[in-house]
Structure 1
């Protein structure tokens, strides 16, 4: 069993000691609970038919996540394949996304400030979302297809959008300097993170931000005290961002940002999903993720014009070198037969670059008794992928036009959406094979959807939507000629209701509730070998309740069921359907400065599987969090957080994960804004 280290004992004591000390620092002064204005940690989007969840800066800080995957794991419909390390983790939304073979199936879209990230089908390598959660101030997760057409095509599982921090978040748009220093320590894996932010606003029109994050973590143990198989990592990240506003009314602005995350791994398994070296052996791996973004915005005092032009360039390089003698096959009689494929994978150097220009205008106007919020624009994308020993290279050129209109009359909102996309694929290095000499492929698709929402006057609303999208062929499939002419198709139906009310059980309380039924059908499947059709259906619930006294309750739950039909015609359960899950948070804002919360996460036994395994068993884990933010005095601007994850050190393996979850982990965060 794992023995608690001195830092673990110290941090565990701090988890219980510092709330008492805070309350005792002014024992003579009574705590006036009815003055508390804070509410639940997360808002429920009851004002839209889109199943969307936003995680703001306050919740990002409170969750103390080590990866982006860990941060969005709290969203209903989201399941992680591992998730506690930047490599070997994957994101599954509504049964689509990461698999045990690839980090993505192209049906979950991830964007950072508009730039597309983590989208390659690299064998036994994760989602490739190598970045740090400390760089971001908001993460938005849209589930399903509706709401995705202004961002891309082929979104079946969902869309993850991340927004980096701005200098004005710290300067408050006042001339001068501002900054923030954060240190975080974790006991399981002896993790340490430092985040340094410096913001400068020389004039009202000009702002600059620089941020450096260094996150280190050793190997973690499971609840039984055994290594979980996730490799240690050292992840430095840099963000540089500037914004200039100009014009007589300051209605023009230009924003330029650049972020870079590097990771060097030495003598690690090639297979990021596995817990052993296995057949593929061990490698030295170097990863560099660079993203540059130039955005222009024009927002005059004219409701018909609000133009944004976003030019992004995402460049990721993953270089691997095989360590001789590390494969279990090497030296056996079978090695000559497997050597080519093993060495081809382990020595592959991957590099892919995506340059994208998106121009969009938002216009608000009326036609008769209808109000319109019309978002229309075009997109041009050029994606290049270098030829690797284990993956084909080439160029994917696309252009698209889209329009989404929210039409409102009284309590009724009708939102039609349309996207047309054209594609040209070119293979590098000549013909694919002697039997398949074609090197160029052209495809096009028309996609769209319609959502309707009706809001009654008493806080209730009902909504429904239908959406159709297509996954156009990808560079990974150049060696499979039929797939290059066969877009993957999907249709999603949604039906739900929401409620948002105040002063229900007492003055100042609020209840927000949203429930959403969905069914997704995918056919002409190209993402999975031997599968012709997939059907997913389920129910998602989000609830937030808060009282004027500071008590709050957050609850979200997901129930899903998936079926697949093989190309041979046989039906079976869908292997990547997530387990039913419920997450409950009970918290108390003791004062405006002190927040205490308990969270329980329960996953049901996964009995809808083709071959039950260890991870099919259900589990319940508990997490505790305490946050103290002094509002006055010498400690104003400081923040202290203590979190205890997996409080009872439960030994379990989550459904869809390829390794066990970490055991008890105590996290201590110290931050100061200046």
Structure 2
């Protein structure tokens, strides 16, 4: 898509925000013309809030929506965010996360362009060949998941983040006990018809005193092979995923203004006689695979009452990701018997100071990080050590006249050292690199609830251990990937739009990114730069009667510029899409909703995918037992019409009709 077309789309979206319910029908109809559209009839207490008070393109998924979606993986949970796409699906091992076309692709499961954080711990970001994402963890462990798209909101979390950030926050005991002394818990049982999936999640929270709390969670998820819309069984989509979380928090000091929190999460997956290529594309051979992700976090918080200059967080985290492959057969293949291990230790110290100066109220966050990543040598992944030190600063300045300006910066140094001898590199060779990056965003809010915002952000991705694998490694180990992103958008937040008791929130964002010195791609030899651009729309409407509408849309495209001067489409962008949910809450007893997911067809060099529309139904019923805190019955029907389809970037068919039943009870 050319830039002028994207600008036109932005203007159309901005003018239509207050008429979102009408305009989305037309967009949806056009989006699936190639595939036959089943129709949208729209009418909106929302499942998801639109973040209209910030220039950062961020989407927050709370605990209620996590339970409501009944997702099998984190990737499946967040693919409803505009600009986020699944790269393959079917198993936690095979699925990957792509944001604005970066992150997982058809060859590698992840890269540093998308940062994944679990309670502040960094979860991988190296290029594991053909083994999907490194995020093997269950959605039941989390109280909130937030997705930041692009670079502008990422400088606190890392360098080279061009796609975005996924932040995962685990549940707390106080979420169950509501801060009161005593024991509380919740038991959830789920069953999914497609794949005979069975899920059990047990959460216990205990507060022996007001200042001390403990939490334990154990979740077991079992799934057989699922069937597509034609009733055909999709091989190697079965899995078993046990997860557990142990967490404790102690508050102390004056007015309990200090706290110490420890959490330990462990998720494992074991599969027998499955393709080495978890992306299910190339027949290398079969393996027995065991995957385990262990994360430990110790965090100290200090926020003294009456002192706005101190809000201190010290976070020490350790993430250990182990992938063990054992070949099925006796060829002795180094690839099929390769084991992978990533151990990341990180110390982050950050303080937020709130003060007034130079005509503005400041929310200044200053911090530093020490990061040490160790990777085991493997035939498809070069090992070694990557040590980094970083400083960051983000200052949100509110001038009180509608203007908010937020400059941000990050300075990062690196000492990266090769592991064992490789095809080209000698063990122990090391390189030092550094980069300074930053950006600025501005937002102006009018008194009528309308706001305009924009930003520019520059970042650099320092070399990673995989870059030792190239004959020209001495160049790549001293050359960072560079990108600049421009964003421009508008938001609208108002109450009493059509009546005295309704609310509309909407946000539209145009973005454009240029990436050069690109080495983290199998096409790197021929590429001079990569240009991507898009429009993202989020909107929600709710009425005091309980009716609500949630909508999100994504239109994006990308283009390679080759060294020869030729251009070609970037085939890893998500399909243009629309998500629409219409529902109604009946008091506090029943929530009924219908969701449509519409993707426009894609034609590209790798074959693309036809357009489709898929419909889902969900119902949540709050059961009044008289002796439980809460009891809920959830019933969902995904792919109601049992449609046969394969989304763009998938290498497997998507599941056919799937009836999901969930029963939870809290005490």
Length-normalised TM-score, structure 2: 0.90
CA deviation string 1:78-126 (max 9, x = no partner): 1111234211101111111111111113211100000011422111111
CA deviation string 1:445-496 (max 9, x = no partner): 0010000000011100000000000110001111221211110001100000
Is the aligned partner of 1:448 residue 2:443?
A: no
Separation in 2, partners of 1:286, 1:232: 14
SS at match of 1:346: coil
Residue equivalent to 1:642: 635
Residue equivalent to 2:413: 422
Is the aligned partner of 1:213 residue 2:219?
A: yes
Sort the Cα spacing of 1:229 and 1:509 in 2 relative to 1 into closer, same or farther, 3 A. same
Indicate which of 395, 400, 423 corresponds to 1:405: 395
Indicate which of 572, 576, 582 corresponds to 1:576: 572
SS at match of 1:257: strand
What is the CA distance between 1:652 and its match in structure 2? 0.4
SS at match of 1:485: coil
Is the aligned partner of 1:545 residue 2:569?
A: no
Separation in 2, partners of 1:458, 1:580: 31
Sort the Cα spacing of 1:634 and 1:415 in 2 relative to 1 into closer, same or farther, 3 A. same
Which deviates the most, 83-92 or 125-134? 83-92
What is the CA distance between 1:370 and its match in structure 2? 0.6
CA deviation string 1:573-620 (max 9, x = no partner): 00101110000100001222100000001001113x23434xx21000
Q: How does 1:456-471 map to 2 (within 5 A)?
A: 456-471=446-461
Is the aligned partner of 1:309 residue 2:345?
A: no
Report if aligned partners of 1:99, 1:105 keep a CA contact under 8 Å in 2: no
Q: How does 1:17-36 map to 2 (within 5 A)?
A: none
Indicate which of 277, 286, 290 corresponds to 2:290: 286
Q: How does 1:496-511 map to 2 (within 5 A)?
A: 496-511=489-504
CA deviation string 1:604-640 (max 9, x = no partner): 1113x23434xx2100000000001135634651010
SS at match of 1:478: helix
Separation in 1, partners of 2:385, 2:426: 18
Separation in 2, partners of 1:485, 1:393: 17
Separation in 1, partners of 2:528, 2:645: 33
Residue equivalent to 1:591: 587
What is the CA distance between 1:163 and its match in structure 2? 0.2
Separation in 2, partners of 1:347, 1:371: 58
Residue equivalent to 2:20: none
CA deviation string 1:516-550 (max 9, x = no partner): 00001110001113333111101000000001111
What is the CA distance between 1:291 and its match in structure 2? 0.3
Q: How does 1:51-130 map to 2 (within 5 A)?
A: 51-130=57-136
Q: How does 1:83-232 map to 2 (within 5 A)?
A: 83-232=89-238
Separation in 2, partners of 1:453, 1:120: 35
- For structure 1, list consecutive stretches of 5 or more residues without a partner in the other structure: 1-37, 326-338
Q: How does 1:373-388 map to 2 (within 5 A)?
A: 373-388=363-378
Sort the Cα spacing of 1:253 and 1:437 in 2 relative to 1 into closer, same or farther, 3 A. closer
SS at match of 2:77: helix
Report if aligned partners of 1:108, 1:155 keep a CA contact under 8 Å in 2: yes
Separation in 1, partners of 2:657, 2:240: 21
Sort the Cα spacing of 1:434 and 1:545 in 2 relative to 1 into closer, same or farther, 3 A. closer
Report if aligned partners of 2:197, 2:221 keep a CA contact under 8 Å in 1: yes
Sort the Cα spacing of 1:438 and 1:175 in 2 relative to 1 into closer, same or farther, 3 A. closer
CA deviation string 1:1-32 (max 9, x = no partner): xxxxxxxxxxxxxxxxxxxxxxxxxxxxxxxx
Separation in 1, partners of 2:184, 2:77: 26
Separation in 1, partners of 2:488, 2:286: 48
CA deviation string 1:553-585 (max 9, x = no partner): 000000001101223432100010111000010
SS at match of 1:134: helix
Separation in 2, partners of 1:61, 1:438: 48
Indicate which of 246, 249, 257 corresponds to 2:255: 249
SS at match of 2:94: coil
Report if aligned partners of 2:275, 2:283 keep a CA contact under 8 Å in 1: no
Separation in 1, partners of 2:53, 2:145: 18
Residue equivalent to 1:268: 274
Sort the Cα spacing of 1:435 and 1:427 in 2 relative to 1 into closer, same or farther, 3 A. closer
SS at match of 1:170: helix
SS at match of 1:61: helix
Separation in 1, partners of 2:611, 2:399: 46
Indicate which of 603, 623, 626 corresponds to 1:630: 623
Separation in 2, partners of 1:345, 1:65: 32
Sort the Cα spacing of 1:485 and 1:368 in 2 relative to 1 into closer, same or farther, 3 A. closer
Length-normalised TM-score, structure 1: 0.90
Is the aligned partner of 1:39 residue 2:29?
A: no
Separation in 2, partners of 1:665, 1:657: 18
Separation in 1, partners of 2:321, 2:589: 42
- Give the superposed CA RMSD: 1.5
Residue equivalent to 1:24: none
SS at match of 2:254: coil
Residue equivalent to 1:30: none
Is the aligned partner of 1:476 residue 2:466?
A: yes
Separation in 1, partners of 2:254, 2:114: 42
Sort the Cα spacing of 1:244 and 1:518 in 2 relative to 1 into closer, same or farther, 3 A. same
Report if aligned partners of 2:638, 2:657 keep a CA contact under 8 Å in 1: yes
Separation in 2, partners of 1:115, 1:93: 20
Which deviates the most, 521-530 or 222-231? 222-231
Count the aligned residue pairs: 616
